[in-house]
Amino acid sequence: MQMLVSNNNEKNNDEVHIPDIPGGASAFEICAKFCYGMTVTLNAYNVVAARCAAEYLEMHEAVEKGNLIYKIEVFLDSTICRSWKDSIIVLQATRSLFPWSEELKVVARCIDSIASRASVEPTKVDWSYSYNRKKLASENGTDPHWNGIQRHITIRKDWWVEDLCELEIDFYKQVIVSIKSKGNMSSDLVGEALKAYALKRLPAFDRDKVHGSEAARKRSLVETIIWLLPSKKGSVSCTFLLKLLKAGILLDICEIAKREIVKRIVVQLDEAAAVDLLMPASVSENGLYDIDLVQNIVHEFLVQEQNARIGHPVVPDGQLPDESRTLASVSSVSYASQLAVANVMDGYLLEIAHDPNLPVAKFIDLAEMLPDTARPVHDGLLSSNRQ
């Protein structure tokens, strides 16, 4: 500040212009009040702007002990980063103050604070949070077995999920990555969080109604969610994976992301619902549905099953009992998976049979992909043939 005034005095100019100060006039006002010994009120909504403005004005300890930067840093560490809600508010506020907020490590500190609190044991959660989804009876006071005695309310393990849905995808990604790195969060909970975020940020839409920057934003969101998916099988449902794929097709996500989501669907294909496989055809195709994509998914499933059998050959005579049971179990699971997938595919064939533009040859090819052993009875297949 003194340097700016001194430079202006040399030019015989009574006015100091600082149009590029981060945070604008309101942040400068906080700094000016501090210089004049006036009371300054900091909160989650103005602290980032004040911190960046103080850095711009070089209000360091080297200039004067107890300067504004020091006091703001104490406030950030002792108050903001110890509050769940305030850490989220401040993180959101940093966006309009790039690159200052990032260089001053405000972004990193908020992300670490949020991730650390999300990773604590639910029994230790003693701060407020948002939870508008279905609650336990004990949480909303409707438990019919309550005897009137006050008791400790059980905190849900997913208590943190809803508040994080307010973050934009770039910050959300950093928080989820940080949560994963701490190693305290189960894959199922991370999967649940990603599903909640996707449902909030990706409401139903039509291909023709999403254009330009909105399409690019949603495309980036879908691709990011795909990369954040936990590697553990079953951490998200096959239905959710297929919905992600459908959104990805409508938004034209990159091929790498599409292959990744298809790979995950293949592993859980036996859990799919036939209606979820109805992927929209591209604008260049005549049919209603993308049959080639489903054929590719089924093909990858069959390759996976074949590899499983090669890795676990038929048990020879004289095999040790424990090993025999293990191999038989693998074979049984593989067969059960094939039966389930055949049932799904018969339902799918029944759905696509209504498409008047579907080539008969393609229908037959898809119906014949699975081995006969996967269909002990052919009722589902016969039903689709009658359509």
The answer to whether residues 161 and 178 belong to one domain is yes
Amino acid symbol at 292: D
- 45/63 Cα distance (integer angstroms): 27
Last residue of a domain, one of 267, 292, 314: 267
The answer to whether residues 243 and 281 belong to one domain is no
The answer to whether residues 89 and 184 belong to one domain is no
The whole-number average pLDDT for the span 173-185 is 96
Q: Is residue 150 part of a domain?
A: no
As for how many domains the chain has, the answer is: 3
High-pLDDT (> 90) share of the chain, %: 61
Its pTM stands at 0.82
Q: Which of 146-150, 284-288, 308-312 shows the lowest per-residue confidence on average (mean pLDDT)?
A: 146-150
Whole-angstrom CA distances from 267 to 76, 238, 298, 301, 384 are 45, 9, 11, 7, 26
The answer to whether residues 297 and 319 belong to one domain is yes
The answer to whether residues 16 and 80 belong to one domain is yes
Q: Is residue 126 part of a domain?
A: no
The answer to whether residues 372 and 262 belong to one domain is no
The whole-number average pLDDT for the span 327-342 is 67
Instruction: Show the domain range for 63.
Output: 1-118
Q: Is residue 63 part of a domain?
A: yes
User: DSSP string spanning 342-361?
Assistant: HHHHHHHHHHHTT-TT--HH
Last residue of a domain, one of 217, 241, 267: 267
Q: Is residue 144 part of a domain?
A: no
Q: Is residue 222 part of a domain?
A: yes
Over residues 198-226, the pLDDT tens digits come to: 999 987 655 556 677 888 999 999 999 99
The answer to whether residues 17 and 41 belong to one domain is yes
The whole-number average pLDDT for the span 3-13 is 59
C-beta separation of 152 from 138 below 8 A:
no
Residue 222: the pLDDT is 96
- 86/79 Cα distance (integer angstroms): 8
Q: Which residues pair with 280 in a beta bridge?
A: 289
Over residues 46-64, the pLDDT tens digits come to: 999 999 999 999 999 888 8
The answer to whether residues 163 and 258 belong to one domain is yes
pLDDT band at 3 (very low <50, low <70, confident <90, very high): low
DSSP state of 153: P
Q: Is residue 127 part of a domain?
A: no
C-beta separation of 18 from 28 below 8 A:
yes
Q: HSE, CB side, 13 Å, CA atoms: give it for residue 186.
A: 10
- 30/351 Cα distance (integer angstroms): 65
